[in-house]
């Protein structure tokens, strides 16, 4: 099966990794891919943080593509400009979309 993140692609951390003092939003390069682990996720080795000679291993759920991260940050920026009333409407709409997404995935399976 093709890995979600190809070798040498740039990815962004979705959570802090305190062991290396890495913060959510840090960018790195995928240097190795591992097949599904005991958690049911593929694993990746990352390099290119501001830490020389260190390779960090992460699960697929801990990273996201740079493009996806940038898109999410753009959306977040727009959310900060909405009123509370509009945010309530948006939350309701998002719940509807997520429900539809779940239904679509069940149909595909």
62 shares a domain with 83 = no
pLDDT category of residue 109 using cuts at 50, 70 and 90: low
- pLDDT tens string 46-98: 999 878 888 999 999 999 999 999 999 999 999 999 999 999 999 999 999 99
Rounded-to-integer distance, Cα 74 and Cα 79, Å: 9
* Same domain? 62 vs 83: no
Name residue, tokens 């940050």: 73
- Tell me the pTM: 0.76
Total domain count, the chain? 2
* CATH number of the CATH domain containing 16: 2.30.30
Give me the domain span that covers residue 87: 71-108
- Average pLDDT across the chain, whole number: 91
Looking at per-residue pLDDT, the higher value among 51 and 24 belongs to 24
What is the spatial distance between Cα 23 and Cα 74, in angstroms, rounded to a whole number? Answer: 19
Helical residues (DSSP H) of the chain, grouped into ranges = 66-79, 84-108
State whether 26 and 55 are in the same domain: yes
Residue 103, pLDDT score:
84
pLDDT at 93: 96
């Amino acid at each position: 099966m093709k890995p979600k993140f190809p070798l040498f692609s740039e990815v962004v951390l979705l959570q802090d990794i305190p062991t290396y003092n890495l913060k959510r939003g840090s960018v790195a390069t995928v240097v190795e891919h591992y097949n599904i682990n005991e958690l049911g996720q593929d694993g990746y080795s990352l390099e290119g943080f501001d830490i020389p000679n260190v390779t960090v291993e992460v699960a697929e759920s801990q990273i996201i593509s740079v493009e996806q991260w940038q898109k999410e940050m753009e959306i977040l920026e727009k959310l900060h400009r909405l009123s509370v009333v509009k945010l309530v409407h948006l939350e309701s709409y998002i719940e509807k979309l997520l429900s539809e997404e779940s239904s679509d995935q069940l149909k595909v399976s």
